[in-house]
Amino acid sequence: MLQEVVTLPYPGLRKRSKPIGHISDSTRQLVKDMEESTLDWENRREHEVGVALAAVQIDSHKRVVVIRNDFDNKKDKTFTAFINPEITKYEGEPTSEYEGCLSVKDLYGRVPRYPKVQVNAKNIDGKVVNITAEGFLARIFQHEIDHTNGILFVDRIKDEPEAFHRLRKISGNIEKLSEEERDAAFKEIF
């Protein structure tokens, strides 16, 4: 069933999610709901792609993440589910790149993330999977696993006001926030 993606300042986004002990039909339904909700969000935005979602973003505090199988192809509408994902190893020096979030309206930020991570999780069939993720996929895992811990990308850069940017809806360009825009955004999200 289609769920609305919740956005800041909704306080539930900053709650830690609980692990799933047994993958049941309700877990499978949650995954379907997450996929539908991501695609619905994307369909209402011309310049953005929904690459991933954590269950907390549809107000379910379960440690479940879905990641699009081909995030470079908006026509590919398939996802892979990761149950109880955990990062077991970080590698390399963090670099700052733009990140957006379905739960943070129109804001982007230059967020430092590690270029390579090792992730352990279960798949939808309950089998343990070990993933080595690099580049953008590593960034996605870090972002989504943060969600399961009640952390949003804005929390990672809140002490760096210059790191915040806004997506201009008409042009689709990402531009720095003016001081007034930044003050207004901070009042809403913190």
User: What global pTM score does this model have?
Assistant: 0.95
pLDDT higher than 90, residue 172: no
Active site residue 144: yes
Look at the domain 11-189 and name its fold.
Peptide Deformylase (3.90.45)
Question: How many residues appear in the chain?
Answer: 190
**Catalytic pick among 48, 144, 160, 179:** 144
Three-state SS annotation for 86-154 = EEEEEECCCEEEEEEECCEEEEEEEEEECCEEEEEEECCCCCEEEEEEEHHHHHHHHHHHHHHCCCCHH
Phi, psi of 56 (to 5 degrees): -60, -25
Nearest to 41 by CA among 6, 88, 92: 6
Contact present, 138 and 113 (Cβ < 8 Å): yes
Over residues 106-142, the pLDDT tens digits come to 899 999 999 999 999 999 999 999 999 999 999 999 9
pLDDT higher than 90, residue 45: no
| Range in 39-43, 114-118, 163-167, 171-175 the model is least confident about | 171-175
Q: How far apart are CA 79 and CA 143, in angstroms?
A: 16
pLDDT higher than 80, residue 61: yes
pLDDT higher than 90, residue 35: yes
Q: What is the mean pLDDT of residues 24-49?
A: 94
Please give the pLDDT value at position 167: 85
Contact present, 71 and 136 (Cβ < 8 Å): yes
Domain boundaries, the chain: 11-189
pLDDT higher than 90, residue 53: yes
Reduced to 3 states, what is the DSSP secondary structure of residue 65?
strand
Q: What is the mean pLDDT of residues 66-94?
A: 96
Please give the pLDDT value at position 169: 77
